[in-house]
Structure 1
Amino acid sequence: MASVKVEQNSTNHVTNQMRPDSKKPVMNDDTGWKAQLQRPPKDMRMQTTDVTDTKGNEFEDYCLRRELLMGIFEKGWEKPSPIQEASIPIAQTGRDILARAKNGTGKTGAYCIPILDRIDTSKNVVQALIIVPTRELALQTSQICIEVSKHIGCRVMVTTGGTNLRDDIMRLTEKVHLIIATPGRILDLMNKNLVHADHCKMLVLDEADKLLSQDFKGMLDAIIAHLPHDRQILLYSATFPLTVEQFMRKHLNNPYEINLMDELTLKGVSQYYAFVQEKQKVHCLNTLFSKLQINQSIIFCNSTQRVELLAKKITELGYSCFYIHAKMVQQHRNRVFHDFRQGLCRNLVCSDLFTRGIDIQAVNVVINFDFPKHAETYLHRIGRSGRYGHMGVAVNLITYDDRFAMHRIEQELGTEIKPIPKVIDKALYVAEYQTMPDDDDEDGEVPHKSQSGANNQSK
Structure 2
Amino acid sequence: MATARTENLASVVVGLNKQNGQMRGQPKPASPQSGPLALGSQPGKAASAPPKEGSGPQDGGGIRFGDDWKKNLQLPPKDTRMRTSDVTATKGNEFEDYCLKRELLMGIFEMGWEKPSPIQEESIPIALSGRDILARAKNGTGKSGAYLIPLLERIDLKKDFIQAMVMVPTRELALQVSQISIQVSKHLGGVKVMATTGGTNLRDDIMRLDETVHVVIATPGRILDLMKKGVAKVDRVQMMVMDEADKLLSQDFVVLIEDIISFLPKKRQILLYSATFPVTVQKFMAKHLQKPYEINLMDELTLKGITQYYAYVTERQKVHCLNTLFSRLQINQSIIFCNSTQRVELLAKKITQLGYSCFYIHAKMMQEYRNRVFHDFRNGLCRNLVSTDLFTRGIDIQAVNVVINFDFPKNAETYLHRIGRSGRFGHLGLAINLITSEDRFNLKAIEDQLVTDIKPIPGSIDKSLYVAEFHSADPDAEAEEGEPEADHKAPEPLES
Tell me the TM-score normalized by structure 1. Answer: 0.92
- Aligned mates of 1:254, 1:103 — CA distance in 2: 25
SS at match of 1:297: strand
In 2 relative to 1, CA 89–453 (structure 1 residues): closer, same or farther, beyond 3 Å? farther
Which residue type is aligned with residue 274 of structure 2? S
Q: Are 2:58 and 2:187, in contact at CA under 8 Å, matched by a contact in 1?
A: no
**In structure 2, which of residues 404, 416, 422 is the aligned counterpart of residue 367 of structure 1?**
404
After TM superposition, give the deviation of residue 173 of structure 1 in Å: 1.2
The worse-fitting range, judged by mean Cα deviation, of 25-34 and 334-343 is 25-34
User: Are 2:247 and 1:210 equivalent residues in the alignment?
Assistant: yes
User: Are 2:163 and 1:117 equivalent residues in the alignment?
Assistant: no
After TM superposition, give the deviation of residue 178 of structure 1 in Å: 0.1
Q: Are 2:2 and 2:195, in contact at CA under 8 Å, matched by a contact in 1?
A: no
- Aligned mates of 2:77, 2:363 — CA distance in 1: 35
The 5-angstrom pairing of residues 15-414 of structure 1 reads: 25-152=61-188, 153-414=190-451
After TM superposition, give the deviation of residue 23 of structure 1 in Å: 9.0
User: Are 2:456 and 1:457 equivalent residues in the alignment?
Assistant: no
After TM superposition, give the deviation of residue 30 of structure 1 in Å: 2.9
Q: Are 2:4 and 2:372, in contact at CA under 8 Å, matched by a contact in 1?
A: no
Which residue type is aligned with residue 267 of structure 1? K
SS at match of 2:157: coil
In 2 relative to 1, CA 453–139 (structure 1 residues): closer, same or farther, beyond 3 Å? farther
SS at match of 1:218: helix
- Aligned mates of 2:294, 2:134 — CA distance in 1: 5
CA-to-aligned-CA distance 1:243-270 (integer Å, 9 cap, x gap): 0000000100000000000000000000
- Aligned mates of 2:280, 2:56 — CA distance in 1: 53
After TM superposition, give the deviation of residue 27 of structure 1 in Å: 2.0
After TM superposition, give the deviation of residue 216 of structure 1 in Å: 1.0
After TM superposition, give the deviation of residue 121 of structure 1 in Å: 1.1
After TM superposition, give the deviation of residue 201 of structure 1 in Å: 1.1
CA-to-aligned-CA distance 1:110-155 (integer Å, 9 cap, x gap): 0000000000011101000000000000000000000000011210
In 2 relative to 1, CA 20–131 (structure 1 residues): closer, same or farther, beyond 3 Å? closer
- Aligned mates of 1:308, 1:39 — CA distance in 2: 40
Which residue type is aligned with residue 122 of structure 2? A
Unaligned runs of 5+ in 1: 8-16, 440-445
- Aligned mates of 1:452, 1:225 — CA distance in 2: 56
Identity of counterpart residues, as a percentage? 70
Which residue type is aligned with residue 76 of structure 1? G
- Aligned mates of 1:315, 1:59 — CA distance in 2: 45
After TM superposition, give the deviation of residue 455 of structure 1 in Å: 2.6
- Aligned mates of 1:396, 1:175 — CA distance in 2: 48
In 2 relative to 1, CA 214–32 (structure 1 residues): closer, same or farther, beyond 3 Å? same
- Aligned mates of 1:339, 1:304 — CA distance in 2: 20
Q: Are 1:104 and 1:359, in contact at CA under 8 Å, matched by a contact in 2?
A: yes
- Aligned mates of 1:453, 1:205 — CA distance in 2: 44
After TM superposition, give the deviation of residue 307 of structure 1 in Å: 0.4
Q: Are 1:5 and 1:158, in contact at CA under 8 Å, matched by a contact in 2?
A: no
SS at match of 1:34: helix
In 2 relative to 1, CA 354–21 (structure 1 residues): closer, same or farther, beyond 3 Å? closer
- Aligned mates of 2:394, 2:338 — CA distance in 1: 18
After TM superposition, give the deviation of residue 212 of structure 1 in Å: 0.4
- Larger RCO of the pair (alpha carbons < 8 Å, separation 6+): 2
Which residue type is aligned with residue 168 of structure 2? V
CA-to-aligned-CA distance 1:303-347 (integer Å, 9 cap, x gap): 111000000110011100000000000000000000100100000
In 2 relative to 1, CA 20–397 (structure 1 residues): closer, same or farther, beyond 3 Å? closer
Equivalent pairs counted in the alignment come to 437
SS at match of 1:126: coil
Q: Are 1:44 and 1:448, in contact at CA under 8 Å, matched by a contact in 2?
A: no
The worse-fitting range, judged by mean Cα deviation, of 199-208 and 212-221 is 212-221
Q: Are 2:56 and 2:73, in contact at CA under 8 Å, matched by a contact in 1?
A: no
- Aligned mates of 2:343, 2:274 — CA distance in 1: 29
SS at match of 1:108: helix
Which residue type is aligned with residue 380 of structure 1? H
In 2 relative to 1, CA 69–6 (structure 1 residues): closer, same or farther, beyond 3 Å? farther
SS at match of 1:223: helix
Q: Are 1:141 and 1:180, in contact at CA under 8 Å, matched by a contact in 2?
A: yes
- Aligned mates of 1:357, 1:21 — CA distance in 2: 31
- Aligned mates of 2:195, 2:59 — CA distance in 1: 36
Which residue type is aligned with residue 4 of structure 1? T
In 2 relative to 1, CA 59–404 (structure 1 residues): closer, same or farther, beyond 3 Å? same
After TM superposition, give the deviation of residue 29 of structure 1 in Å: 4.6
CA-to-aligned-CA distance 1:199-255 (integer Å, 9 cap, x gap): 111000000000000111311111011111110000000000000000000100000
Tell me the TM-score normalized by structure 2. Answer: 0.85
Which residue type is aligned with residue 304 of structure 2? K
Which aligned runs of 4 or more in structure 1 are off by greater than 4 angstroms? 17-24, 446-449, 451-454
In 2 relative to 1, CA 252–22 (structure 1 residues): closer, same or farther, beyond 3 Å? closer
In 2 relative to 1, CA 73–131 (structure 1 residues): closer, same or farther, beyond 3 Å? same
Q: Are 2:334 and 2:404, in contact at CA under 8 Å, matched by a contact in 1?
A: yes
- Aligned mates of 1:256, 1:328 — CA distance in 2: 40
- Aligned mates of 2:293, 2:369 — CA distance in 1: 40
Q: 2:457 aligns to what?
A: 420
